[in-house]
Amino acid sequence: MKEQTESSNLFSKNAQQMTIEEVFAKLNATPAGLTTQQAEERLKQYGLNEITEKKVSPIVKFLGYFWGPIPFMIEAAAILSFINHKLPDFFIILTLLLVNSIVGFWQENKASNAIEMLKQRLAIVSRALRDGKWQEISAKELVPGDVIRVRMGDIVPADIKLIEGDYLTVDESALTGESLPVEKHVNDVCFSGAIVKQGEMNGVVVATGMNTYFGKTAKLVEEAKTDSHFQKAILKIGDFLILGAIGLVMLILFVSLFRHEPFTDTLNFLLVLTVASIPVALPAVLSVTMAVGAIELAKKEAIVSKLVAIEEMASMNVLCSDKTGTITENKLTIGNIEPFDSFKDTDVLLFGAIASRAEDKDPIDDAILNKANQAKEVTDILKNYTVTKFKPFDPVSKRTEATVTDSSGKSFQVAKGAPQVIFSLTKGDKDTETKVNEIVDTFAQKGYRALAIAKTDEKNNWVIVGILALYDPPREDSASTIKTAQSMGVKVKMVTGDHIAIAKETAKTIGLGTNIIAAGDFLDKPDRNATTIVENADGFAQVFPEQKYHIVELLQAKGYFVGMTGDGVNDAPALKKANVGIAVAGATDAAKSAASIVLTKPGLSVIIDAIKQARMIFQRMTNYSIYRIAETIRVLLFITTSIIVFNFYPITALMIVLLALLNDAPIMTIAFDNVKYSNKPEKWNMNNLLAISTMLGIVGVFSSFGVLYIGKEVFHLSTEVLQAFIYLKLSVAGHLTVFVARTKSHFWSIKPAKPLFLAVIITQIIATLIAVYGILFPQPLGWKFAGFIWAYALVMFVITDFLKVWFYKLIDTSNIHFRR
């Protein structure tokens, strides 16, 4: 194994200087490729091919949760409890540490597993020559000696020595930092991770995975370093709670020192209080909520490659959608055929089929070949021609070319492409050009796309054979889906490279609006004017992929959250620039790597499903944030005020630990809660979120003081029983706050999910039993006082819910007046 690895590394470095014959000799391979058996044997010999991150042992990862700033504080509290001979506190605090570790490990593992599953769905597929025929296999199954084909839009899956074809233009910027594309020819080496911008060639795999020239440092797409809106929101929430907690805890410490209370007891209490107050689980819970949501999106045929894209999609208010394959069926069919001069319909189909290649799986090629195969006259004649050279479609030349030899040995060329491009090859006169334009316009008025076919004559001059009409009908659900999107506050703008007449016809059919503008109408204008044009447009025609970037840029400058769909290699910059880059079904590897969401099912309805799901996930994240902030304020402010004003510790450190323990269990289930998606794009409104959280927290503080007063002045409870009394109130009322925080309207408006409801009930039964029978407490509370607490908490829960609804209306009214 060691010799094989060293040989493979050495080979990767020397491949550039070796001839093709030496390459095959060294790998004991042939230009006909490997057999399946040979490939499997080599895969076993070389081991795993994938470039993988260094795996951390689950045990090591789990133990890592025992150490860090927060675990250290819990450990310090446990040590102080042991020193003060408070063994029950010591064991319970250790239990808290263990539970926190399990929860942290479970959350990270769940999120990691979800992301790994989604990555597997996005695995790169390669075309390899196995058993003498071209097959699609996973890129991770490639082995040295495999012959593979790479073409425009592919990410090179391994280091390969090019052995056949005209040229490749590859983008190696992610690997070398070189911004300009590099041209490659036969005998050159293409490195793993490079993106093919133009051309098509075959190559022999010389190194894979960790043995590639760039190895671990190869990245498919450079990740942006800016924080997402989600990360910024988490930081704001965390800062708000941490600063508040530290400030109040320091205040208690100074007051305790001034009163000459035992320092170790005070420190122990404050350490536990700090741990319970700081929302250390906030990022993890929200990440898990997004990870669980990502799995749900995958069921809707939308695979999330970047979790924060879920939040961005919930906020999206403009969707720039491709026409072909997204709004339309992407099932091109041949409509009218217009032959030129002495050529016939069958000639147009014949030469169109010659200039097409089935194995490329190009929609235009497939449409022509399907039509040709239906005509027996064409299929019979087709056998008399042999294609000796084939140039696949190039976005620069905008045509395909084939060199052909007939049965008599004569050679000529055939080309197909855009009519204007094909006409420019010929020596046609003005009348021919007029005829071409008239046919194109006639087709366009019917929503047809024109494709011209040409061949060279005996004098090697190009002549037009004819023009085909290609038609891609709108999907049946496109019109209703666009209407749904608009009702949800998302503006849909169609983006297509087609002629403006075709775009208008399609837009009219699906009810999108006919204000379709050509890219040239705004590209040369100042940004201020261009932004207005782009904002008011219903769609864009004759757009090159590179121009999509500018469309996104202009809309973002106006404050829109932009979604952009794409499928080609040249769409990658726009997909990366957009708030939500969406690679549609059948997209190239380059587009998938740049996008944050990849669709595996064609059509616009998938995107709408993803928006609905993303908004539901956003609702869950918001609900949890409100609950977590309100709960921290409620507990911390109440305890601090009680200590400072009344010189009374309302609960013990052990009770704080129990509160934290029983709080964690149901909160994990919030990722599965029932919510209703909003009919408007979502966004983090931190002022409103903090306002409603603070309101709920302060109501909880007054409610807790009410219990303190009743227990002390009405029931005349002893200190130990009073603390158990208050503990149960904080526990029960705290979990009831979950049901208040999860809706903007009354709590009964949306039924909670069964896992969340059961988790709350079970944990509160445990909390009640602990208090009633005095388990771990100095004095039992008894069922009488426990029943009172439940009744009190339920009454305050209903009152708080009505106050919440009123407060939301007040916030909405204030926002309306502010906007005016």
d(CA 469, CA 8): 51
**Residue in the block written with tokens 């009354």:** 746
CB 767 within 8 A of CB 662: yes
507-514 LR contacts (CB < 8 Å, sep 24+)? 507/538, 507/539, 509/447, 509/474, 509/479, 510/327, 510/474, 510/478, 510/479, 510/482, 511/479, 511/482, 511/483, 512/482, 512/538, 512/539, 513/538, 513/539, 514/538
CB 733 within 8 A of CB 793: yes
List beta partners, residue 138. Answer: 125
- Tell which residue, 282, 278, 272, 270, has the closest CA to residue 241: 278
The secondary structure element, H or E, covering residue 90 is: helix 87-121
CA angle 519, 525, 526 (to 5 degrees): 135
**Out of 89, 171, 188, 322, which one is annotated catalytic?**
322
- Tell which residue, 165, 169, 168, 221, has the closest CA to residue 193: 221
The secondary structure element, H or E, covering residue 400 is: strand 399-405
d(CA 631, CA 124): 46
- Give phi and psi for 206, each to the nearest 5: -110, -20
DSSP assignment, residue 396? T
3-state helix, strand, coil in the chain (%, to 5): 60, 15, 25
Q: Is residue 341 flagged as an active site residue?
A: no
d(CA 335, CA 592): 32
SS3 477: coil
Q: Give whole-number Cα distances, 691 to 47, 240, 247, 697, 703, in Å.
A: 57, 12, 19, 10, 18
Q: Sign of torsion, CA 478 484 486 488? A: negative
Catalytic residue positions?
A: 322
